[in-house]
A and B are shown apart, each in its own frame.
Chain A
Amino acid sequence: MENEGKIRVRICLGTTCFVMGASKLQELEHLMPPEWKDKVDISADTCLGMCQNSNSGFMKAPFVKINDEMIGGATVEKVIDKLKELIV
């Protein structure tokens, strides 16, 4: 598989996440260091299901899933920081 071994980043573009700022996350691909391109696989999701989850606790939209970890209140900076941890 082409994407095997890559870090998977799923950006939620569902209603709640979109109005809470997920549209800005679409820029992630252009804002992260170019050398990460072949290490990270970015894609969009129709809804990560977190918005309907009353147990999402203190986590807030927009949501991004990095591999199996859910990030709430996601911003480009927050996602890049997380990726840094995973890449080094």
Chain B
Amino acid sequence: MIGDDDTLFIDIGCSQQKKYNQNTYGDFYISKRYPEERRLIAVLSDGLGSGIKANILAEMTATMILKFVAAERNLMKAAEIVMNSLPVCQVRKISYATFSVADCSETGLVKIVEEGNPEFLHIRNGRVIPEEPKIIVSKKFPNRFMRTYTIQMDIDDRLLFCSDGVTQSGLGGPIYKLGWRREGLIDFVEKRFDAVPDISCRQLAQEVVVEAQTKEPERQAKDDISCMVLHWRQPRSLLVFTGPPYYADRDAEYANLFINYQGRKAICGGTTANLVSRELNRPITTEMFAKGSLPANSYMEGVDLITEGVLTLSKAVEYLEDAPQEMPDDAAGKLVTLFLDSDCITFMVGAKVNQAHFDPDLPLELELRKNVVKRMEKILTQKYLKQVSLHFI
């Protein structure tokens, strides 16, 4: 139901740098959300060697694991099968690709399996805390084993995964004879949290990659460098109320549901705004002058944004599709900014249709609200990886 949700949002950010002189990445990361299961699976794989061969090996391994883990609810079993079936390089007698996989639940429970990659970091309150793995040795290849973990994340905990291009950066060079190593990475990460406690996943992953690269002589990476960060945080949620409910006798109920929602709130539609104003007895003021081709915003206490309905929604879909560098300063631009700033977006879509919108005398054709919202849902989930739910009322 709208609003009663105690799960966390899992944010994810990745960054990569190619090995010097290679034209493609030899590491591969992939992640996918499964909204119905409130689950996210992330995989980082490092292919043997570098360049296109490594790229194919890593991508193959990562996508295979992702699909397999998603289908097979038991991560440990899935990873073991993968470990036993991954081919071994005939010449070098080592696996074609190493991997780390995290099967994450929005409740904070996470299962991790690592095979060959450096150990991940679990960061809590800006400090890396130790985690004890359970080791599973391959029955088929005695020199192959995986580390497995089951961890309960707290709110604002992070996980950091990287390829050995990070921990071994600088290896053999004049300063870092043994490479940057895990200790160096931990030190760097903790310092970054001291400086920026709420550093975003993307930012941290980027900084780790850049830092690893600076450890290399002349900044020329000897190996592919990849970093992936996950963050369990309080979802930034947004409720959009658009269109009056089909049954007018439920106006009061929905107006109250809307205003009591824990999170940000937006109204798209004049009639809807009036309904909320009337039911809650809160006055609306409307800006007089349109911005761009859209009516201006209105204001009401307790509501973050009020816009006109279907014209603004259609324009917002356009902006989401075109993704302009700078968001226009009109009502649709403000709405899109609000979307991009939220993780979970709920639409309360009133089913009442305004006949006037289909009057053939209108100089332009207005799209059905329901259809605009559906297009919006699609683009927000697919292109922007937002968690979106629609409630038709």
Any chain A CB within 8 A of the CB of B155? no
How far is the CB of B304 from the nearest CB of chain A, in Å? 16
Q: Are B290's CB and A13's CB within 8 A?
A: yes
A11-33 to B contact mask, C-beta < 8 Å, 1/0: 11111101110010010010000
User: Nearest Cβ in chain A — how far from B286, in angstroms?
Assistant: 4
- B308 CB–A CB distance under 8 Å: yes
Q: Report if A13-B308 is in contact (Cβ < 8 Å); known contacts: A26-B288, A44-B288, A51-B356.
A: yes
> B252-300: which residues lie under 8 A (CB-CB) from chain A?
269-271, 273-274, 284-290, 295-296, 298
Q: In the assembled complex, which residues on chain A have CB atoms less than 8 Å from the CB atom of B274?
A: 46-47, 49
Total contacts A to B, CB within 8 angstroms? 80
- Smallest CB-CB separation from A53: which chain B residue? B356
Does B364 belong to the interface (CB within 8 Å)? yes
Cα distance A45–B308 when bound, in Å? 11
Once the chains bind, are B271 and A47 in contact (CB under 8 Å)? Answer: yes
- The 0/1 profile, CB within 8 Å of A marked 1, for residues 90-124 of chain B is 00000000000000000000000000000000000
Instruction: Tell me, yes or no, whether B327 is within 8 Å of chain A by CB.
Output: no
- CB-based contact A45/B362 at 8 Å: no
Residue of B nearest to A16 (CB): B356
Q: Of A18, A26, A45, A60, which contacts B289 at CB under 8 A?
A: A26
Q: Which of A23, A29, A43, A52 contacts B271 (CB 8 A)?
A: A52
Interface residues of chain B: helix, strand, loop or mixed (majority): loop
Question: CB of B130 within 8 A of chain A?
Answer: no
Chain B interface, number of residues (Cβ within 8 angstroms): 30
User: In the complex, are the beta carbons of A44 and B270 less than 8 A apart?
Assistant: no
Question: Given contacts A23-B290, A44-B287, is CB(A52)–CB(B354) below 8 Å?
Answer: yes
A15 touching B363 by the CB < 8 A rule?
Answer: no
Q: How far is the CA of A14 from the CA of B309 in the complex (A)?
A: 8
A46 and B357: CB pair below 8 A? Answer: no
A18 to B362, CA, bound (A): 10
Let me know if B310 is at the binding interface, CB within 8 A: yes
Complex CA gap A42/B363 in Å reads 26
Name the A residues within 8 Å of B309 (CB-CB). Answer: 14-15
Complex CA–CA separation, A13 to B362 (angstroms): 15
Within 8 A of B (CB), among A35-88: 42-47, 49, 51-52, 54, 60-61
Residues of A within 8 A of B57 (CB): none
CB distance from A41 to the nearest CB of B (A): 12
Asked if residues B271 and A19 are in contact (CB atoms below 8 Å), the reply is: no
Contact partner, A20, options B271, B298, B306, B363, Cβ 8 Å: B363
Question: Known contacts being A15-B308, A61-B356, is A43 close to B366, with CB within 8 Å?
Answer: no
Residues of B within 8 A of A42 (CB): 288
B143 within 8 A of A: no
Instruction: Evaluate contact between B273 and A46: CB separation under 8 angstroms.
Output: yes
Are B364 and A19 closer than 8 Å at their CB atoms? yes
Once bound together, how far apart are the Cα atoms of A61 and B356, in whole Å?
9
A11 vs B286: C-alpha distance in the bound complex, in angstroms? 10
Q: Are A43 and B362 in contact (CB under 8 A)?
A: no
Additional A-B contacts beyond A43-B286, A45-B270, A46-B286 (4; CB < 8 A) = A14-B271, A16-B359, A44-B288, A46-B271
Can you show 22 pairs from A to B with CB atoms below 8 A apart?
A13-B308, A15-B269, A15-B270, A15-B308, A15-B309, A15-B311, A16-B354, A16-B356, A18-B308, A18-B311, A19-B363, A19-B364, A19-B366, A20-B361, A29-B288, A44-B298, A46-B271, A46-B284, A49-B271, A51-B356, A52-B355, A60-B361
Task: Rank and list the top 7 A-B pairs by shortest CB-CB distance, nearest first.
Answer: A47-B270, A46-B270, A14-B270, A44-B286, A51-B356, A13-B295, A16-B356
